[in-house]
Amino acid sequence: MFFSDRIKSINPTDRVLEVGPGATPHPRSDIFLELNYEDERERIAQSGNVGLLNTNKEIVYYDGGKFPFEDKEFDYVICSHVLEHVPDADEFLKEVQRVGRKGYLEFPTVYYDYLYNFPEHQLFLFENMGVIYWMTKKESGLQDFNAIQKFFNISCELKYYETINNFKNYFFQGFEWEEVIISQKVNDLQKITYSEDQINLEPYCFSEERARKIYPLISFKSFLKFKIEKKIKQFKRKFKDA
C-alpha cells in the first residue's frame, strides 16, 4: 500500500475487512479475506513475492465469486492491490459494495503495469471523475502504448525504488469510497491513461546536471584527477627549470 495516509474514515468502533492483505495488512483491519490457492508458490506470487501473512486475526478463505459474508456486514472494506488480479472488476466490486458500507481501493495504473508487466495482473485500471475504467491486459494493443513507453527509458536509468518513489502518483491510485462504487469495462486505452498535458517527466529526464547529482563520485574523481595532473605538470615544470 502506497497511500495508507489516505485512509481517514475508519471510526474506532468500525468493523474492518481487508481483502487480499498479502503479507503486510493494514493495522486497523479486523478480519482478512483470502483466496484459496492449491499451490503455495502461486499464493506468494499473487502477494507480490513478499512472503505470507502472519497474524493472530481471523482469516477467511474462499474460492472466488461471492464473498462469504452477509450484506453490509462490515463498516469499512480495504482492498489494496487486489483489483488488478481479478478477471472481472465489475463483479468483484459488486461484492465489495455488498459486504461493506464504505472503504478504500488502491491499484496500479497502466503506467506501472506496462513497465513491469507482472504476469499475475489481469487488468488495467484507471479512476477518473469517480469512475473506475478497466480493461483486460489481453485486450490491450501494445502499439497504443507509445505515450507510456517514455517512462521505460527513465526507469532503466534509475533504481527500482527510486523509480517507484518518483512516479508513484502516476503508477498508483488510491481513494476512499462510500455507499456506491461506479465501474465500467472499456476497450479504449485513452480511458485508462492520463492525457499528455497531465504528465510532466522533465524533472526526471537524464541530463548532465542530473548525472552530477546521481553520480557525485564521478565528478569528484574527475576533479581529483584534474588536480593531480595539474600538480604533476607543476612539479615537472619546476624540475625542468631547476
The model's pLDDT over 182-234, given as tens digits with 9 standing for 90+, comes to 999 998 888 888 887 888 877 766 555 555 554 454 444 555 555 566 666 66
Question: pLDDT digit string (tens) for 4-45?
Answer: 999 999 999 999 999 999 888 999 999 999 998 777 676 666
Looking at residue 24, its pLDDT comes to 86
Same domain assignment for residues 155 and 170? yes
H helix runs in the chain, sequence order: 40-46, 89-99, 110-116, 150-157, 160-171, 208-214, 216-241
* Number of separate domains in the chain: 2
In angstroms, the CA 19 to CA 82 distance is: 7
Same domain assignment for residues 122 and 227? no
Looking at residue 215, its pLDDT comes to 47
Residues in the chain: 242
Q: What share of the chain is helix, strand, coil (3-state, %, to 5)?
A: 40, 20, 35
Q: Which domain holds residue 34?
A: 4-202
Instruction: Give the predicted TM-score (pTM) of the model.
Output: 0.65
Beta carbons within 8 Å of 131's beta carbon, 6+ residues apart: 182, 183, 184
Of 57, 112, 79, 28, the residue nearest 183 (C-alpha):
79
Cα Rg of the chain, angstroms: 25
For residues 146 and 114, the answer to whether their CB atoms sit within 8 Å is no
Same domain assignment for residues 232 and 114? no
Same domain assignment for residues 79 and 52? yes
Same domain assignment for residues 67 and 135? yes
- Domain end (from 202, 217, 232): 202
Same domain assignment for residues 144 and 224? no
Once rounded to an integer, what is the mean pLDDT over residues 116-140?
Answer: 88
Q: How far is CA 87 from CA 48, 65, 218, in A?
A: 18, 10, 49
